[in-house]
Chains A and B, each alone.
Chain A
Amino acid sequence: MANDYWRWPESRWTNPGIDWKAGETVSAGVDVGAVSSQAVVLVDGQLFAYSNTRTGSDSPESAQKSMDIALQDTGMCLEDIHSVVGTGYGRVNVPFAGKSLTEIACHAKGANFIYGSAVRTILDMGGQDCKVIHCDSQGTVIDFLMNDKCAAGTGRGMEVMAQLLSIPIADLGSLSLQVDEEPEAVSSMCVIFAKTDAIGLLRKGWPKEKVLAAYSVAMAHRVAELIQRIGLEREFAITGGIAKNEGIVKRIENELKTVALKPNMDTQIAGALGAALLAKDLADKRPQPR
């Protein structure tokens, strides 16, 4: 679709080094988000397969689709999975999940897996909300702060910019860094007003990358403020779609005068990954987070 700049491309991954049939516990997590849905399958706590798909208008269908894509060509079917946890805003609508847990608990657990046990502050920038989570070395939540009221500082703001500038969302980060000098932030935090500001700047003859930089500066500032309200404890890591936008990551790092840990996998799967880890705990009858 030509006007589909705002969505991340769908993807899937399988670990060829794992013979799942030899595994003892197969667990899975499904994160049905506002914009995208992910499914992660673990074999004895090892990452076996994942998918990153687009959420449709129907949550159960989106959950099923992400699971189907994750299991594609693996020879595994849903019945082979011992325990499934659903999370995300559509978590209560995952028909095949034994339990649903909050995305806060799942993201903390997932970040702990992706980034290691030293992570204490997690910034999760989702499609329609933004969370800052403090956790311990086990990935258990200690405290969190969330913005789900205002689109500024969430993935939604970036999507609006992607559409406005006709640039695929995956390219926004690198493009926003192609400025010689950091422009002043757009005057308004509100996404609706920022859009008007951006149109004004384009009419003034600003190149797209400069407009994008001005918007990214404002967004990074907004998010940094949220982090500072709860306090930054290192190590610091970012999950969600925005973690893939290096323009925002770099600017948040500058604002906070810190460096975020670099991921080695798709940061959008953190919630589903955490759900899969907690599903394993459930299957192994280990104590559950509240």
Chain B
Amino acid sequence: MNVAGIDCGAKNTKAVILSNGKIRAMRSISSGFDYNRAAEKVFDLVLEEADLSRENVIHIAVTGAGKKEVTLAQSAVTVLSADAKAAHHLFPLARTVIDVGAEEARAIRLNEAGKLIDFAINEKCAAGAGTFVETMALALEVSMEEIGPLSLRSERELSMKAQCAVFAESEVISLIHANYSKADISRAVHEAIADRIAAMARKVGLERDIVLIGGMSRNEGFVDSLKRVLKEDVQIPDNPEFLCAYGAAVKAAEKARQS
């Protein structure tokens, strides 16, 4: 039985195909400005990778910011339930799930059965999402791949005054002019966003195990800062940016079995 989950994120659209419950293929592409087109395209790509055709996939579940625009799916699931499902599947001991994406961050509290019991979400402010780091990376003229390792090389603690990403961008430029190293500034950027993510996570109550997912968990500078701020270890799955799509795919399998 083949099912698919598609996560239409603000920045990237991800697709996962499960064959008999096992991940068979994964693909991610830029969402652009047309979620439906991105979903169609990423689905074709993931089918190609899985060596399947559309008829072979019996159920597609869609989730993410653009889910309402997508026409190819049979069902839609919320990002919260997709996150919860995926985290519980991979980490049965997970009680807190933190998902940091490009334009949204979520903290979810799960019970022993993997049921969602509380959540907090930030979709209003770029300062608490991956875009914050992306904006600062641009100001620092480093790539998103570079900013994480760069921040780990910091030798001096520095804290940012600005909260808003727009003001923080100016602050970063001033810090560059004041001759602070890019490593120190990068770390200050990660500490700042980690503080805000931690504050959000504390709202739902931090209970171990803590699982970190979403594209930002690829950034080791951010992960390092988050662990320090939380004073807790976090578990990160392989391919953390695909977790929400994976959760949608698990949901799709459940739906397929029901029908």
Judge whether B125 is part of the interface by a CB distance below 8 angstroms: yes
Do A151 and B167 touch (CB < 8 A)?
yes
B-contacting 9-mer, from A137-145, A187-195, A264-272, A273-281 = A187-195
Number of residue pairs spanning A and B whose beta carbons lie under 8 angstroms apart: 41
**Chain B residues within 8 Å of A193, by CB:** 103, 126, 131
Binary contact readout B116-138 vs A (1 if CB under 8 angstroms, 0 otherwise): 00000000111000011001000
Given A190-B126, A196-B10, do A150 and B164 touch, yes or no (CB 8 Å)?
yes
B-contacting 9-mer, from A41-49, A199-207, A229-237 = A199-207
Do A192 and B33 touch (CB < 8 A)?
no
Judge whether B166 is part of the interface by a CB distance below 8 angstroms: yes
- Least Cβ distance of A27 to chain B in Å? 33
- Least Cβ distance of A147 to chain B in Å? 10
CA A57 to CA B166, docked complex, whole Å: 17
Judge whether A156 is part of the interface by a CB distance below 8 angstroms: yes
- With both beta carbons as reference points, the residue of chain B lying nearest to A128 in the complex is identified as B167
Judge whether A256 is part of the interface by a CB distance below 8 angstroms: no
Do B125 and A190 touch (CB < 8 A)?
yes
Judge whether B165 is part of the interface by a CB distance below 8 angstroms: yes
Quick one: which of A63-119 are within 8 Å of B by CB? none
- Least Cβ distance of B234 to chain A in Å? 26
Binary contact readout B165-200 vs A (1 if CB under 8 angstroms, 0 otherwise): 111000000000100000000000000000000000
Q: In the complex, which of the residues B33, B132, B166, B177 contacts A160, with contact meaning CB atoms closer than 8 Å?
A: B166
**Chain A residues within 8 Å of B167, by CB:** 128, 151, 156
Given A200-B33, A204-B33, do A192 and B163 touch, yes or no (CB 8 Å)?
no
- Least Cβ distance of A31 to chain B in Å? 19
**Chain B residues within 8 Å of A128, by CB:** 167
**Chain A residues within 8 Å of B132, by CB:** 192
By size class, the interface of chain A is 20 to 34
- With both beta carbons as reference points, the residue of chain B lying nearest to A194 in the complex is identified as B126
CA A200 to CA B166, docked complex, whole Å: 19
- Least Cβ distance of B30 to chain A in Å? 13
CA A235 to CA B163, docked complex, whole Å: 33
- With both beta carbons as reference points, the residue of chain B lying nearest to A192 in the complex is identified as B126
Judge whether A149 is part of the interface by a CB distance below 8 angstroms: yes
CA A186 to CA B124, docked complex, whole Å: 12
Interface centre among A128, A157, A190, A196 (most CB of B within 10 A): A190
**Chain B residues within 8 Å of A192, by CB:** 126, 131-132, 135, 165-166
- Least Cβ distance of B159 to chain A in Å? 15
CA A188 to CA B124, docked complex, whole Å: 7
**Chain A residues within 8 Å of B126, by CB:** 190-193
Q: In the complex, which of the residues A156, A189, A199, A203 contacts B124, with contact meaning CB atoms closer than 8 Å?
A: A189
CA A191 to CA B124, docked complex, whole Å: 10
CA A200 to CA B66, docked complex, whole Å: 13
**Chain A residues within 8 Å of B163, by CB:** 149-150
Do B124 and A190 touch (CB < 8 A)?
yes
CA A199 to CA B126, docked complex, whole Å: 16
**Chain B residues within 8 Å of A160, by CB:** 166
Do A191 and B33 touch (CB < 8 A)?
no
Do B33 and A149 touch (CB < 8 A)?
no
Interface centre among B10, B125, B165 (most CB of A within 10 A): B125
Binary contact readout B199-242 vs A (1 if CB under 8 angstroms, 0 otherwise): 00000000000000000000000000000000000000000000
CA A199 to CA B10, docked complex, whole Å: 13
- With both beta carbons as reference points, the residue of chain A lying nearest to B134 in the complex is identified as A192
**Chain B residues within 8 Å of A151, by CB:** 164-167
CA A199 to CA B33, docked complex, whole Å: 8
CA A152 to CA B127, docked complex, whole Å: 12
Interface centre among B10, B132, B163, B166 (most CB of A within 10 A): B166
**Chain A residues within 8 Å of B103, by CB:** 193, 196
- With both beta carbons as reference points, the residue of chain B lying nearest to A129 in the complex is identified as B167
16 A-B contacts (beta carbon < 8 Å): A128-B167, A149-B163, A150-B163, A150-B164, A151-B165, A156-B166, A160-B166, A188-B124, A190-B124, A190-B125, A190-B126, A190-B165, A191-B164, A192-B166, A193-B131, A196-B10
A interface vs B, CB < 8 Å?
57, 128, 149-152, 156-157, 160, 188-193, 196, 199-200, 203-204
**A-B interface, 4 closest residue pairs, ranked by CB to CB distance from nearest:** A151-B166, A192-B126, A200-B33, A203-B33
Excluding A149-B163, A157-B166, 16 further A-B contacts by CB distance (< 8 Å) are A150-B125, A151-B166, A156-B166, A156-B167, A188-B124, A189-B124, A190-B125, A191-B165, A191-B166, A192-B126, A192-B131, A192-B165, A192-B166, A193-B103, A193-B131, A204-B33
